A and B are shown apart, each in its own frame.
Chain A
Amino acid sequence: MTEYLVRFLIGGVAVSAFALLGDLLRPTSFAGLFGAAPSVALASLGLAVINHGAPNTATQALAMIAGAVALFCYSILVCRLLIRGRWSALSATLTCLLVWLAVAVGLSFATGQLT
C-alpha cells in the first residue's frame, strides 16, 4: 500500500510540474509537447528501478515504445476530430482512448511483447 501511495504522490507532483510548464509556454502547439511529456514514466520507471531492478524496468520501457506510437496515432486522431469532426475536446479525447488502447495492445501483440 505504501508503494502505491508513494507512486501517487510522486506521479502527482511530476504530472503537475509538466502541466504547469505547459501552461506557461506559448505558442499552444509548443505547450502541447508537454502534454506528451514522460511525466508518468519518469515517476514509474524511477520507482521500478529501485523496487524491481534494471531488467524489469527495461521491459517496461520497451513496452512503452508501443504506447508512444499509440499516443502519436491518438493525438493525430484527436486533432482531426476537433477540426474536421467538430467534436468537443472532452468527447474527442475520451473516445480516442479506445483507439490508443487498441493500437498499443495491437502493436504489443504484433511485436511479440504480449503473447
Chain B
Amino acid sequence: MTPSLSFASLKDSRWHEYVMRFVLGGLVTALTGVISNHLGPAIGGLFLALPAIFCASATLIEKHEIRRKREAGLDGRRRGRQAAALDAAGAALGSLGMLAFAVCFAIVVQKHAALAFAAAFIAWAAVSLMAWWAWRRMRAGQRQSRVSQRRAKARAPHRAQAVRSDR
C-alpha cells in the first residue's frame, strides 16, 4: 500500500484528544527542560526520546478501531490491538530515524546550529522512509513465500493421488 493522506480519520478524533496530546507534548518538553537544568544535559537528553506521546497515540488508535468495529456490531478488541501493534511497528522504524537525527545533530551542531536542525530533520525523514520501505518489501516477500508454500502443500496430496491412480 502506497502512503496516502486520508482526511476521513479526522472524524474519529474528538477535540479533547487533541487537547490531551497538546498538554502531554508540552509537559514532556517542559519536563525535559527541568531535568536538563537540574540533572545535566546527559540525563535530560535521554528524555528527548521519551515515548510519552506514543502511549497516547497507540491508545487512541486502539480506541478508534474498537469504536468503529462496535458500530458495525463487532467486538473490535482484536482489530484494535492489531492497529496499535502496527503503529508500534512503525514507531520502531521511526526510532531508527530518530537515532539518525540525534547522530547528525550532535555532529553538525558544533559547526552550525541552524544547519544542524535542517540536516538532522532530513536524516530523520530519509532513514525513517527507507526503513519503512525496506520493512514493507521484507513483509511482502515473506507473505509471497508463505502463499507459495501453502499452494505447494495444497497441490502435493492431489499429485500423490494422481500417481496412485496412475499405478
Partners in one complex: yes
Q: B41–A30 contact, CB under 8 A?
A: no
A66 to B2, CA, bound (A): 32
Secondary structure at chain A's binding surface: helix, strand, loop or mixed? helix
Q: What sequence of 0s and 1s flags, for each residue 4-38 of chain A, a beta carbon within 8 Å of any chain B beta carbon?
A: 11011111111110111011111111111111111
Secondary structure at chain B's binding surface: helix, strand, loop or mixed? helix
Determine the chain B residues whose CB is within 8 A of the CB of A59 once the complex forms.
40-42, 45
Given contacts A19-B21, A42-B117, contact A68 B33 (CB under 8 A): no
Determine the chain B residues whose CB is within 8 A of the CB of A67 once the complex forms.
45-50, 102
Inter-chain residue pair count (beta carbon < 8 A): 325
Determine the chain B residues whose CB is within 8 A of the CB of A88 once the complex forms.
62, 81
Q: B87–A35 contact, CB under 8 A?
A: yes
Q: A65–B25 contact, CB under 8 A?
A: no
A14 to B48, CA, bound (A): 13
Determine the chain A residues whose CB is within 8 A of the CB of B81 once the complex forms.
82-83, 86-89
Interface range for B: 35 or more
Q: A58–B90 contact, CB under 8 A?
A: no
Interface range for A: 35 or more
Q: A7–B30 contact, CB under 8 A?
A: yes
A7 to B35, CA, bound (A): 13
Determine the chain A residues whose CB is within 8 A of the CB of B106 once the complex forms.
58, 61-62, 64-65
Binds A, one of B7-15, B144-152, B158-166: B7-15
Determine the chain A residues whose CB is within 8 A of the CB of B18 once the complex forms.
16, 20
Determine the chain A residues whose CB is within 8 A of the CB of B141 once the complex forms.
none
CB distance from B155 to the nearest CB of A (A): 31
